[in-house]
């Protein structure tokens, strides 16, 4: 099947899962204020890998004894909540996660998952790794790499309306190369940047969950078991109580009912 691009691109329905939320322009589609709870941090998110890395950090900070709490509100991207006017004010890019930090004199917004993680980790001087240079390098590596795994491989392998060999090959190759980058690094390092840090949390959320068989049903196809150092590291992180809690926050989908906590307002919510 060949495609000849027209002179000027036009928006024609291309199908596939999530096609209903894709549009070629930014900005709000409707007026809707965001809810605000009683805690200093108001997180607006969903338990996708980009959301989970942030809720894992929030839960790790609380587990480590940092004295704060947060409200996590569900943004249902399948229903277009990310295009509500209130959400767009917090994130002009209309993507989860987004944070309002109301702990200071003026509320401030932070968007982009890694920016939120850095903001929280620096504020609490925690989970910054042994080397800031290495930690930032791996954190930025995750932000630059995961779109090839999610938007590239995941999209064409799991969500596109048909299976097309060319993009699946191209992005499977890149996903495996990325797993090999991690596997080689983790061969002689326990963590990404010396000690457990936000770089581990961010990378785990994507690549850890991939090798644990939780993303795109692609574990066998990508032979993830062969990246043994990544699997060991992913299992170590997965066993942490804060990580289990972080995975639950803003989860409204999936078969495992015990993992679902669409909204979180206090630690007690996990005991339900
Ligand atoms: N670079 C962004 C990516 C965020 C992102 O892609 N979020 C997705 C869910 S995983 C989303 O909100 N998609 C909604 C949409 O594209 O309309 C980040 O790391 O925060």
CATH, residue 75: 3.40.30.10
- 53 part of a folded domain: yes
Please report, for the domain that includes residue 168, its CATH number.
Answer: 1.20.1050.10
* Shared domain check, 142 and 91: no
50 Cα–ligand 1 center, Å:
7
pLDDT confidence of residue 257: 93
Rounded Cα distance between 257 and 272, Å, is: 12
- Residue nearest atom 5 of ligand 1, based on CA coordinates: 95
- 4 part of a folded domain: no
* Shared domain check, 117 and 49: yes
* Shared domain check, 55 and 104: yes
- 15 pLDDT band, cuts 50/70/90, is confident
Average pLDDT over residues 64-89: 97
160 Cα–ligand 1 center, Å:
17
* Shared domain check, 212 and 190: yes
Q: What is the pLDDT of residues 205-256, one digit of tens each?
A: 999 999 999 999 999 999 999 999 999 999 999 999 999 999 999 999 999 9
- 16 part of a folded domain: no
pLDDT cut 90: percent of the chain above it? 94
* Shared domain check, 266 and 219: no
* Residue 1 scores a pLDDT above 70: no
Query: Which residues are paired to 43 by β-bridges?
Result: 72, 99
Q: What is the pLDDT of residues 128-174, one digit of tens each?
A: 999 999 999 999 999 999 999 999 999 999 999 999 999 999 999 99
Q: Which domain holds residue 204?
A: 132-239
Distances (CA, A) of 269 to 27, 38, 195: 33, 15, 30
pLDDT confidence of residue 21: 86
Q: State if pTM tops 0.75.
A: yes
Query: Omega into 97 within 30° of 0, i.e. cis?
Result: yes
DSSP state of 72: E
- 178 part of a folded domain: yes
* Shared domain check, 209 and 77: no
Phi then psi dihedrals of residue 217, to 5 deg? 55, 40
- 91 part of a folded domain: yes
Which residues form the pocket of ligand 1, taking CB atoms under 6 Å from any ligand atom? 21, 48, 50, 77, 82, 94-97, 112-113
Average pLDDT over residues 27-34: 97
* Shared domain check, 230 and 142: yes
- 138 part of a folded domain: yes
* Shared domain check, 151 and 116: no
- 28 part of a folded domain: no
* Shared domain check, 254 and 235: no
**Higher-scoring residue by pLDDT: 1, 81:** 81
- 6 part of a folded domain: no
Number of domains observed in the structure of the chain? 2
């Amino acid at each position: 099947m060949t495609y000849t691009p027209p002179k000027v691109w036009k928006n024609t329905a291309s199908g596939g899962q999530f096609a209903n939320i894709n549009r070629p322009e930014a900005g709000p589609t409707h007026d809707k204020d965001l809810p605000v709870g009683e805690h200093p941090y108001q997180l607006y998110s969903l338990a996708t890998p980009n959301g989970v890395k942030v809720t894992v950090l929030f839960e790790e900070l609380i587990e480590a004894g940092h004295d704060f709490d947060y409200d996590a509100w569900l943004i249902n991207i399948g229903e277009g909540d990310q295009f509500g006017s209130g959400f767009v004010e917090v994130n002009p890019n209309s993507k989860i996660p987004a944070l309002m930090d109301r702990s200071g004199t003026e509320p401030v917004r932070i968007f982009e998952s890694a920016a939120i993680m850095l903001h929280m980790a620096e504020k609490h001087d925690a989970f910054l790794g042994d080397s800031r240079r290495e930690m930032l390098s791996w954190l930025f590596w995750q932000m630059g790499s995961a779109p090839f795994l999610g938007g590239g491989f995941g999209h064409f392998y799991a969500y596109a309306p048909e299976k097309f060999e060319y993009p699946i090959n191209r992005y499977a190759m890149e996903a495996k190369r990325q797993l090999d980058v991690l596997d080689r690094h983790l061969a002689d390092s326990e963590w990404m940047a010396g000690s457990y840090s936000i770089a581990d949390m961010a990378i785990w959320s994507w690549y850890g969950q991939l090798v644990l068989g939780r993303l795109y049903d692609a574990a066998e196809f990508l032979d993830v078991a062969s990246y043994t150092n990544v699997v060991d590291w992913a299992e170590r992180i997965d066993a942490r109580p804060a990580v289990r809690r972080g995975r639950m926050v803003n989860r409204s989908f999936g078969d495992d009912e015990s993992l679902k906590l669409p909204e979180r307002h206090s630690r007690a919510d996990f005991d339900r």
